[in-house]
Amino acid sequence: MILGYYTGCRIGEVMGLTWDDVDFNNSSIYINKIMYKRDKSMCFGSTKTLSSVRTIKISKTLINILKAQKKWQIENRMKYGSHYTQQYIKEEHIGNEVIKRLYSFPSSFDFPFEKVNLINTKENGEMITPDS
């Protein structure tokens, strides 16, 4: 929630942020997707409007908070080992629509889907959703 406070982003934009969206060197966050619920599962989707895709400059305070969060996740990944939860994206084609559905599995499993590293996770790596 602190990300929303510091950036003014919508809840779906905040929940959809991954570490790839953070540029620590340039103190910025790239908003390019949202997390939303579809058919009882979480998905990535496009932002509300095209102009919602943007890069936001962030403060040194938020940079420090994000660095601490990333360190915490790395420590917890080591602590939980093979029981740490990893998120994956699987693209599904439904008619003309492409759905990017998120799945969570223990990191010990080897899945053929693309890994995604969310910023907002619980201690054991489980994703935090807009419904949490």
> Does the pLDDT value for residue 126 go beyond 80?
yes
pLDDT band at residue 102, thresholds of 50, 70 and 90? Answer: very high
The pLDDT value recorded for residue 97 is 87
> Does the pLDDT value for residue 112 go beyond 70?
yes
d(CA 128, CA 27): 24
Higher-pLDDT residue of 80, 131 = 80
What are the tens digits of pLDDT across the range 41-60? 999 999 888 889 999 999 99
The pLDDT value recorded for residue 131 is 74
The predicted model scores a pTM of 0.90
What are the tens digits of pLDDT across the range 71-90? 999 999 999 999 999 999 99
> Does the pLDDT value for residue 132 go beyond 70?
no
Residue spans per domain, the chain: 2-116
